[in-house]
Structure 1
Amino acid sequence: MEVEVDEKELKEAGAELLTGRRRGLRIHGWEIESRKCSILNSSSLQEWEERLQTSHLPEMVFGESSLTLKHINSGIKIHFNAFDALAGWKQEGLPPVEVPAAEKWKFRSKPSQQVILDYDYTFTTPYRGSEMIEIDKEKDGSSEISEGSSKLHWEDCREQINVAALALKEPILFYDEVILYEDELADNGVSLLSVKVRVMPSCWFLLLRFWLRVDGVLMRLRDTRVHCAFDKSKDPIILQECCWREATFQALSAKGYPVDSVAYGDPSIISQRLPVIMHKVQKLKVPGNLRL
């Protein structure tokens, strides 16, 4: 999806595109930037394996790709990257999904070894994004960046992301989709982690999605939506909605749905068929010493 930005619309919204090779824009105190790079090479993959203490990584890891949203005045920084997502996969350590085709997956081991899938080869992650407080400080005439080690504080709330407002027709000032990692499960499905961002004059909205389909066995969808509405009269409200869905092909068949994997190519279309196993909405609580 390519979005042509109208200079007049940018100006009316009080936004400006980032300069140079940077892809993104500044709007209402936020700097939003996406980076899309090639997959990691073999030496980088080896380094990642050592750091993550694993000998398994997805087929395609876009290690330098990222999406970053930073509020300049407060230093609030929300960003998305493959390493932190895979660290979440490693920490969660789900048991491997049993599949009939597992015995054929010899590409997972050296020829001299027996194929034993004793790890979560789907790379399912509970990752909802990375965050920190990053404040630029002027020191001796130069800019020094200090990064807070503590995470942002999210509180459970009853508020909901205004989906109706998102459906309103207004200019899209910036849009991008960044793939963080992908694996085709030896042609037996798909495991994909990506993040999409959309910036309009009234707000920014993003969707971090982990999508898993193990053909004939299981489908899993883990969505994290984050929304920030711009309001000049008060601090903006940043809401985060997490929704996990999951179902076996057997359970879907019992409800009368097709079992052919061809019918499940688009997670957005079939998400409503998958039962919700976890859902919560949280609001970002901004510390008193920080101002949005």
Structure 2
Amino acid sequence: MMPVFKSSRRDFTFGPWKLTAARTHIIKSSEAERLAEELHMPCVPEMMFGDNVLRIQHESLFGIEFNATDALRCVNNSQGMVKVACADEWQESRSEPEHTKEVLKPYDWTYTTDYKGTLLGDTLKLKVSPTTEHIDTEKLKAREQIMFFEEVLLFEDELHDHGVSSLSVKIASKSYMLREYTSRESKISSLKHVPPPLFTDPNEIAQYLPVKESISEKLEFPEEVCLQSTTASEGT
């Protein structure tokens, strides 16, 4: 028998911070249709986990979270259609009049997104600015006790066997967060030397793909919170 999926929610608190990871079921077809209409897209990914979320929030309510709906809002829903190698052959094989070949609602069917998270908070928010500082990947390799780990899937689509998409987030213990976004892309014809099984493993295939865009940003805590932390440290 197949294991029964159970919704889960995990919270982890350290100091004034709270990490929340929620994993639930795929949204119903009626909700998917409503969401597609709201986002002006013909359809949303086949496996849309609309209620899944990974959230990092301060007790003052500012922070950052990652959710599927906001990620889809960053998908190009009006142009930039991606064509696969067999597209031209398919078009030539069609016998319908030329006007029936037009795409009525063009959109990026690969659901490629430059989503970097949703900032939380009303009066207090993280301050975002460019930086040359990078995430210390060596620190991530250190053999230390893992206090909290969770992987949250936001959405997934087979893309008719033509693609794979992945989104991940990491955080270090400083008075600010570092956010890195990297976009890599390559034609299949340039990857003939790469073993095909690696194509579906983002961690493995990444080293063979040239970087198209790289953005490093510092997410600084609000000044009010920094002042409160400093005052508390001086008083202890």
- TM-score, length-scaled by structure 1: 0.64
- Say if 2:84 is the partner of 1:96: no
Equivalent residues of 2:176, 2:221 under 8 A apart: no
Equivalent residues of 1:181, 1:193 under 8 A apart: no
Consecutive unaligned residues of structure 1, counting only runs of 5 or more, are 1-20, 105-112, 134-146, 196-206, 208-225, 231-235
Q: Which has the higher contact order (CA 8 A, sep 6+)?
A: 2
Counterpart in the other structure of 2:111: 123
Cα deviation digits, residues 109-151 of structure 1 (max 9, x gap): xxxx868483211010110010121xxxxxxxxxxxxx45x86
Counterpart in the other structure of 2:214: 279
SS in 1 for 2:128: strand
Cα deviation digits, residues 238-269 of structure 1 (max 9, x gap): 1111111111112233xxx23x6434221101
Equivalents in 2 of 1:283, 1:267: separation in Å?
A: 25
SS in 1 for 2:74: helix
Q: Which amino acid aligns with 2:30?
A: S
Deviation at 1:177, TM superposition (A): 0.8
Cα deviation digits, residues 66-111 of structure 1 (max 9, x gap): 1111011x322210111001111046x551221144449xxxxxxx
CA RMSD between the two structures: 2.5
Q: Which amino acid aligns with 1:178?
A: V
- Say if 2:13 is the partner of 1:78: no
Counterpart in the other structure of 2:28: 41
Equivalents in 2 of 1:36, 1:115: separation in Å?
A: 39
Higher share in strand: 1
Equivalent residues of 1:38, 1:62 under 8 A apart: yes
Q: Which amino acid aligns with 2:48?
A: V
SS in 2 for 1:176: coil
**Among 177, 180, 187, the residue aligned to 1:241:** 180
Equivalent residues of 1:131, 1:151 under 8 A apart: yes
Consecutive unaligned residues of structure 2, counting only runs of 5 or more, are 1-7, 92-99, 230-236
Deviation at 1:280, TM superposition (A): 2.4
Equivalents in 1 of 2:207, 2:55: separation in Å?
A: 29
Counterpart in the other structure of 2:134: 160
Number of paired residues? 209
Aligned residues with identical type, % of pairs: 30
Q: 1:48 to 1:119 in 2, by over 3 A?
A: same
Equivalents in 2 of 1:161, 1:262: separation in Å?
A: 29
Equivalent residues of 1:177, 1:194 under 8 A apart: no
Equivalent residues of 2:79, 2:106 under 8 A apart: no
**Among 73, 81, 84, the residue aligned to 1:87:** 73
Higher share in helix: 2
Cα deviation digits, residues 180-236 of structure 1 (max 9, x gap): 1111012x23343444xxxxxxxxxxx2xxxxxxxxxxxxxxxxxx42315xxxxx2
Equivalents in 1 of 2:158, 2:86: separation in Å?
A: 13
Q: 1:56 to 1:281 in 2, by over 3 A?
A: same
Counterpart in the other structure of 1:229: 173
Q: Which amino acid aligns with 1:28?
A: G
SS in 1 for 2:197: helix
Q: 1:275 to 1:94 in 2, by over 3 A?
A: farther
Equivalents in 2 of 1:126, 1:280: separation in Å?
A: 10
Equivalent residues of 2:33, 2:43 under 8 A apart: no
Counterpart in the other structure of 1:8: none
- Say if 2:162 is the partner of 1:189: yes
**Among 148, 156, 174, the residue aligned to 2:148:** 174
Q: Which amino acid aligns with 1:126?
A: D
Counterpart in the other structure of 1:201: none
Equivalents in 1 of 2:181, 2:137: separation in Å?
A: 14
Counterpart in the other structure of 1:14: none
Cα deviation digits, residues 135-171 of structure 1 (max 9, x gap): xxxxxxxxxxxx45x8632111222211111111100
